Chains A and B, each alone.
Chain A
Amino acid sequence: MTQIAQIGRSGTLESNDILITVSPGAAGEGIAIELISPVIKQFGDRIREVITETLTTLDVNDARVQATDKGALDCTIRARVRTAAGRAAKGGD
């Protein structure tokens, strides 16, 4: 299991990107996501789903995520979440 031990950030605020900050969550809290996106009405659920899926694949069960989306594709969201989680994990990625 990946242990989120500190704050990890990845991404930018440029078009087609997403800025992800992952920080430790309390045990049993699950994955809590705060999302800002210009397409939140159309794609908000999908972005949350991709973030959650990616963290689950990395075996992260409890974490807080702040996401500021600038129109990122799923592949970019996955990559940014992996990087941020890696940087937040004990000892890094």
Chain B
Amino acid sequence: MERLRRSMMFVPGNNPGKLQTAGIYGADSVIFDLEDAVAVTEKDAARHLVYQAIRDLRYPCEVAVRVNHILTPFGREDLRQVLPAKPDLIRLPKAEAAQEIKDVDEIISEAESKHNFAPGTIQMGAAIETAKGLRQAYAIASASPRMAFIAIGGEDFIADLKTTRSKEGWELFEARSQLVLAAREAGIQAIDTVFSDVNDEETFIAEATRIKGLGFDGKSVINPRQVQLMHRVFQPSEQEVAHARRVLTAYREALEKKSGVIALDGKMIDSPIVIRAQRVLAYAQAVKK
């Protein structure tokens, strides 16, 4: 099964205490942030802290770095300084065109070659935060074989739409759906936006359940408390696992008997149901690890 990214936890790149403890909360990925969480006057300090943390500390999860957009005065320098530490993934903000992905891909390729890293080992992800970016979602998602996911950056997106965020999230429904479609077409993952009220667990769980239903693979989170909540939402239930096992057993038996029609409890089992059952079991297995 592909790498789990149920929870991608943002960690401010200029906070040594938080960089130090980032790995202990069980997030599937940590994202060391050089962008919004870091003041313009502290970009140099954050780059050095993130570089040293990745180089010197061991994290039990994927380590990503969110760099500034390459068209800002900071993006290229972010990449120049953190790539030698070999992060697992570079996350780009505000993606609006495939060319941005290709430009960063090229910078990463040069760094891999210069530092003798195996080619293609540093992955990429990009957040779509504008209507313009959403229109290019598939082009962005498929612009490089390094692309592992596209994400939606909700707050900026909602500002771009000139609306406000509601508890039910209707204003993001269309964008989320299109993002998942683009990700699936490109064969990569879809990651949802952050939920910023860390004290409102009930609404967080409702939103996480909703985006799982839409097909998202995970969500960006901003607080360690949201990590386990996310994982609980994505954990297949015992009933789902038991049903998936029965589906696959029935499928296997039918194949052995060379039977054309497969049924379980009076319901026909066809290819999508088998694929879903395989996914549930793979998920349950991956979660155990």
Whether A48 is near chain B, meaning CB under 8 Å from some CB there, is no
Q: Which residues of A contact B49 (CB under 8 A)?
A: 75-76, 79-80
Least Cβ distance of A68 to chain B in Å?
A: 14
Could you jot down 6 A-B contacts, CB within 8 Å?
A14-B17, A16-B17, A75-B52, A78-B52, A79-B48, A80-B49
**CB neighbours of B20 from chain A (8 A):** 16, 73, 76
In the bound complex, residues from chain A placing their C-beta under 8 Å from that of B55 are 75
Min distance, Cβ B21 to any Cβ of chain A, angstroms = 9
Give me the interface of A with B, judged by CB distance under 8 Å: 10-11, 14-17, 72-76, 78-80, 82-83, 86-87, 92-93
Which residues in chain B, 11-48, are within 8 Å of chain A measured between CB atoms?
Answer: 16-17, 19-20, 44-45, 48
A87 to B41, CA, bound (A): 11
B57 within 8 A of A: yes
Q: Report the Cα distance A17→B42, complex, angstroms.
A: 15
Contacts of A10 in B (CB 8 A): 45
Contact B16 A93 (CB under 8 A): no
Contact A17 B56 (CB under 8 A): no
Specify which chain B residues have a CB less than 8 angstroms from the CB of A73 in the assembled complex: 16, 20, 56-57
Given A15-B17, A16-B17, A17-B16 in contact, is the A75-B44 Cβ separation under 8 Å? no
The answer to whether B44 touches A79 (Cβ under 8 A) is: no
The answer to whether A83 and B44 touch across the interface, beta carbons within 8 angstroms, is yes
- Residue contact A16 to B16, C-beta cutoff 8 Å: yes
Chain B: minimal CB distance from A4 (Å): 16
Of A17, A72, A79, A83, chain B has the most CB atoms within 10 Å of the CB of A79
CB contacts (< 8 Å) of B56 on chain A: these are 73-75, 78
Q: Report how far A58 CA is from B282 CA in the complex, Å.
A: 49
Task: Give 10 nearest A-B pairs by CB, closest first.
Answer: A75-B56, A16-B17, A79-B48, A75-B52, A76-B16, A79-B52, A79-B49, A83-B45, A82-B48, A16-B16
Q: How far is the CB of B7 from chain A (nearest CB, A)?
A: 23
Q: How far is the CB of B253 from chain A (nearest CB, A)?
A: 56
B57 touches A75 (CB 8 A): yes
Cα separation A93 to B47 with both chains bound (whole Å)? 11
B45 → chain A closest CB, angstroms: 4
Q: Once the chains are docked, how many angstroms separate the CA of A15 from the CA of B19?
A: 12
* Bound complex: CA A92 to CA B77 (Å): 14
Interface centre among B16, B44, B49 (most CB of A within 10 A): B16
Say yes or no: A79-B17 contact (C-beta < 8 A), given A74-B56, A87-B44, A93-B44: no
Which chain A residue shows the least CB distance to B17?
A: A16
Residues 141-198 (chain B) with a chain A CB within 8 angstroms: none
What is the CB-to-nearest-CB distance from A66 to chain B, in angstroms, rounded to a whole number? 17
Q: How far is the CB of B241 from chain A (nearest CB, A)?
A: 41
Report chain A residues within 8 Å CB of B16. 14, 16-17, 72-73, 76, 79
In the assembly, what is the distance between CA of A14 and CA of B16, in Å?
Answer: 9
The residue on B at minimum CB distance from A84 is B45
Chain A nearest CB from B59 CB (Å) reads: 12
Distance, CA A78 to CA B51, complexed state (A) = 10
Given contacts A75-B55, A79-B52, 8 further A-B contacts (CB under 8 A): A10-B45, A17-B17, A75-B49, A76-B20, A76-B49, A76-B52, A80-B48, A86-B48
A72: which B residues are within 8 A, CB to CB?
16
